[in-house]
Amino acid sequence: MPVTTFDFGERYTYQNGFGSYLETEVFQGALPIGQNSPQKPPYGLYAEKLSGTAFTAPRHENKQSWLYRVLPACAHPPFASTADGPFKSDKPTDPAKLEYIPNQLRWDPFDHDDQTDFVSGLHLVAGAGDPTLKQGIGMYIYAAGKSMAENSAFYSADGDLLIVAQDGVLDIRTELGWLLVRPMEICVIPRGIKYQVHLPSGPVRGYALELYQGHFALPELGPIGSNCLANARDFQAPVACYSEDFGPTASEGSTAYTITVKFNNSLFQTKQAHTPFDVVAWHGNYYPYKYDLGRFNTIGSISYDHPDPSIFTVLSAPSDHPGTAVADFVIFPPRWLVAENTFRPPWYHRNTMSEFMGLIAGEYDAKKGGQGGFMPGGASLHNVMSGHGPDAKSFEGASNAELKPALVGKGSCAFMFESCLMVGVTEWGLKMCKKVQEGYSEESWGGVQVHWKKPEGVTANSHLLK
């Protein structure tokens, strides 16, 4: 069934399409016709342009939206640095103290935290690059037990945030409207867009990837054709929704709203006397969106051999080198395996890319689950050129399995953040979280058997000149 059946029902209506030029208005006539910035926008609104790329970016890459709002976003007092949050230099998630190591790493499921909201519950596990140069990525675990305050909002000036819900429901209010994000759904909140996260089902846990450069795109399909993988029509964007909480001027409202910004991996705050959620209408192609992973149209081999996992790419953030991604978001959903005379799980591998994997639900077919295994809410990291592959038990099972058509991963979904960058790990990821499986490598591959038998009666070819 190509749609996930969710335990928590949908709350909102959406617009459909990936990278589409969309428009939405709470009141008919709020969007100006034929121009973006009239001398007097309808209903006394302010016109504000939100640019996600340089003005002169190529048309097929250009990202912008026009917002029509009660008060412009610039109407606030100066920001001040805050000691709260996970991004200060004395915190174990400090990105300036990343440790680059070649060891394979795996983490037990990360703890829930009922004392934090979404922002304070973000933990940087690994990353690379520098947001001031708009280069690199950050890989996060989030765990939260309470909603953000109604009079608060957060945005990142550092990059786009891809959120992978693993446990619990996120009800996300953005400047451009609402998104409900449940396990087996993802969402992307672009750089600069303010949002507020509510927890309607209780505590939450999940994964996130911050992209410091560019934006996510659908992967090219090449000879696959014009459909398959993630289809553009299945992505959903919010419709306009606004609040009325403001005074006669920007500084005379009755409610103080705390606005927090992540800026060069540090947090800054200001308080303003009007709601940031006052966009009555908008049009453009720069907006938050969500996607149901159950709609992914998986493809695979119907003859022999296991294809490269790139065939499971949902979203890709390309580098300046064609075919090489700063970040790919890849999933391993339920799928049929029918290849003949083939070792069907992923093969043993050393990769010029870094691979960070997580498990949303179920059990991954190439790794044992259960205590000490690869479990939902846990993760693994195989850095550049660090060998990895099926554990010993999975190898023996797949090598001796009867090769009949098999549905694998039913009720399961694993994912991977794959990057061309070598990533470092934070102190929190290595030590403070206390979730690293110290015996991961030995338990996975220490028992790999030697099956080699030197052929009898066969002359070995020499490497020496005669």
Question: Does 306 participate in catalysis according to the annotation?
Answer: yes
Catalytic annotation, pick one of 306, 396, 427, 443? 306
Residue given tokens 């016709």 in the structure block: 33
Catalytic annotation, pick one of 175, 355, 363, 418? 355
Catalytic annotation, pick one of 349, 396, 427, 443? 349
Question: Does 388 participate in catalysis according to the annotation?
Answer: yes
Question: Does 355 participate in catalysis according to the annotation?
Answer: yes
Catalytic annotation, pick one of 123, 215, 274, 388? 388
Map the chain to HEC letters.
CCCCCCCCCCCCCEEECCCCCEEEECCCCCCCCCCCCCCCCHHHCEEEEEECCCCCCCCCCCCEEEEEECCCCCCCCCCEECCCCCCCCCCCCCHHHCECCCCCEEECCCCCCCCCCCCCCEEEEEEEEEHHHCEEEEEEEEEECCCCCCCEEEEECCCEEEEEEEECCEEEEECCEEEEECCCEEEEECCCCCEEEECCCCCEEEEEEEECCCCCECCCCHHHCCCCECCHHHCEEECCCCCCCCCCCCCCCCCCEEEEEEECCEEEEEEECCCCCCEEEEEECCCCEEEEHHHCECCCCCCCCCCCHHHHEEEEEECCCCCCEEEEEEEECCEEECCCCCCCCCCCECCCCEEEEEEEECCCCCCCCCCCCCCCCCEEEECCCCCECCCHHHHHHHHCCCCCCEEECCCCEEEEEEECCCCEECHHHHHHCCCECCCHHHHHHCCCCCCCCCCCCCCCCCCCCC
- Residues with catalytic roles: 306, 349, 355, 382, 388
